[in-house]
Amino acid sequence: MKSRYFSLFAILLLFLSACTVVIDNPQQTPEGEIKVHFIDVGQGDAVLIQGTNGKNVLYDGGRTDAAALDYLQSIGIETLELVIASHPDADHIGGLDAVIDYYKPKFYLDNSMVATTQTYEDVLTSVKAAGSQVLSPMRRSISLGSANLLVIPPPLEDSFDRNDNSIGVMVDFGDFEVALTGDAEDKEFQWWLSHTPDFLQEVEVYKSSHHGSKNGDSEASVNTFKPKVVVIGVGAGNSYGHPTQEALDLYASQKAKVYRTDQNGTVVITGFSNGQYEIVLEKK
């Protein structure tokens, strides 16, 4: 009798396994398109990600209240599902309080490391007033319809500076991938390669880390992502000398096409699940 029950159980498992293959076919190609907007906010970063289901995510918001918010309103964005602050530097979060006040996003995510600046306090005040749910900076996958947003967690090491505790994200849409890494420098990349290597993969599009500074990207980062397109968020005539020749040489070593917000304005990339993409520049 026991043997008979075991056989019936084995048959049931085989049946359920077969059903799983039919329901979740790994060969199925996701439909639709996603858009990634690298917004010209001067010397800073702000990236809008539009999924296939109408859900929108903003990753960083530039330095000033107007730039990111004005752009979102100008293209008709009505809701934001999630706002991410990669790390609490002013050129990444200075415009987030105005965005949060206006859109009242359902979720908010930052690296949870408290910064003693008025800019950071303003963002937290807006998050509280908006009633946004604060997410912890852990490994997670967030559905954007047929696309997934993978959160690459920061090290949260007190011995690392703020740049090296940036939250990274990967946008995965079939054969089209995008990587955003805040201001991460080599120390954080090495930590990611040791702790979350499965979240790092070759991509079609990559946001230059730390605005193309000489301390941002390294051979380790560009050899990991192997981007076909690199977008640099940078202000015209900035006092930092961004982007540096060292960074531009790294991208050239991958034969990547480089776009810069100081020269090209806002860069909008439409990605398709077959790995193809289209690029529209505000300034050609």
CA distances from 104 to 100, 110, 131, 149 (A): 5, 16, 7, 20
pLDDT at position 99 = 98
In contact, 246 and 211? CB cutoff 8 Å: no
In contact, 105 and 74? CB cutoff 8 Å: no
- The domain segmentation of the chain, as residue ranges, is 30-281
Sheet with 277-281: strands ordered across: 133-135, 107-109, 82-84, 56-59, 47-50, 33-38, 267-272, 277-281
Alpha carbon of residue 87 to chain centroid: 12
pLDDT at position 154 = 97
pLDDT truncated to tens, each residue of the chain (284 aa)? 444 443 444 433 333 333 322 222 334 567 899 999 999 999 999 999 999 989 999 999 999 989 999 999 999 999 999 999 999 999 999 999 999 999 999 999 999 998 889 999 999 999 999 999 999 999 999 999 999 999 999 999 999 999 999 999 999 999 999 999 999 999 999 999 999 999 999 999 999 999 999 999 999 999 999 999 999 999 999 999 999 999 999 999 999 999 999 999 999 999 999 999 999 999 98
Sheet with 229-232: strands ordered across: 140-144, 147-152, 168-173, 176-180, 205-207, 229-232, 257-260
- What would the CATH number be for the domain defined by 30-281? 3.60.15.10
pLDDT at position 31 = 80
Q: Model confidence over 79-100: pLDDT tens digits?
A: 999 999 999 999 999 999 999 9
CA distance 233 to 58: 15
